[in-house]
Amino acid sequence: MDDILNMLRMKDFARAAMAEYKRLTKANLIVIDDIMLFPVEKPQAVNLFNFINQLYENTSFIITTNKMPADWAKMLDDEVLATALLDRLLFRCEVINLAGKSYRMENRKTICGT
């Protein structure tokens, strides 16, 4: 998520960020891991919305998050923006809720190596 937000912030100033932006706008699939894990400042949230809004009808997204959609308004500090963003991400989507123990915790190695 941070990589996308940084790219969106820098695309008008850095050639590499603009190249990445153009590459992503042509992608068939974009994966965003841990979306809304941390609060997003308003300018970055608007950039993310504009990016998703540009792509959502022609690009597939895989999104992972530990936040319920209702929590997104808090993370963005804007209920209207959160609703609009979710509206586009949930458009023609399949939501898969996973429950259970963390895969990382189940497969971690202890300090002792056992």
- 50: tokens are 């504009």
User: What average pLDDT does this structure show over 26-49?
Assistant: 96
pLDDT, position 108: 73
pLDDT band at 111 (very low <50, low <70, confident <90, very high): low
Contacts of 67 (CB under 8 A, 6+ apart): 35, 36, 37, 75
Domain 2-106 -> CATH class: alpha beta
pLDDT, position 5: 96
Q: What is the mean pLDDT of the chain?
A: 92
**All structural domains of the chain with their residue ranges:** 2-106
